[in-house]
Amino acid sequence: MSDPREEFLAGERPDDVALFLADSYVADERFEKFGDPVENGIVMIVDGESGRNAFKAATDTDAMGFAKTAMQREGEINDDLTTGECPDADEDGEHEPQFVFAFAEEQNEDVGGIYAEGAVVHAYAQCACGTAYSDRWNVADS
């Protein structure tokens, strides 16, 4: 049986999005039937439109608008999609992702850079401290 998160992280599900919702952020059992429980929340891999709708329902935020905001700050989002390092982590406060929105882009040699080397995962996180940040990586490097 295949693991949707492993397939997503391998760049094999470019039409899907990944969502992580921390238990500390949202406690809604409706999401559990669409995802897999992890130590600190739930991870869902769903088709793009359903994922954007689920993100909006869980966070009351437009997924692409959030991504645009998060792209203004670089941080580190681990390839488990549930943990990372907030760029403000040296300041006081709690620094754990409250939610993550991610998508994979297929290899594109015409674009060059890391896109020429293989599929790229784009991930956007909201930290408990309020900082939105982003990360991206080539699946071959993870």
Rounded average pLDDT over 66-73:
96
Contact 14, 105 (CB under 8 A): yes
Judge whether 18 and 80 are in contact, CB under 8 Å: no
**Parent domain of 60:** 4-141
Can you tell me the mean pLDDT for 52-74?
92
Count of structural domains, the chain: 1
What pLDDT was estimated at residue 22? Answer: 92
Q: What is the pLDDT of residue 49?
A: 86
Evaluate if residue 13 carries a pLDDT over 90: yes
Q: What is the full DSSP assignment across 82-136?
A: S-EE-TTTTSSS---EEEEEEEEE---TTT-THHHHS-EEEEEEEETTS-EEEEE
What's the pLDDT score for residue 31?
67
67, two tokens: 């991504």
pTM of the model: 0.91
**Longest Cα–Cα distance in the chain:** 43
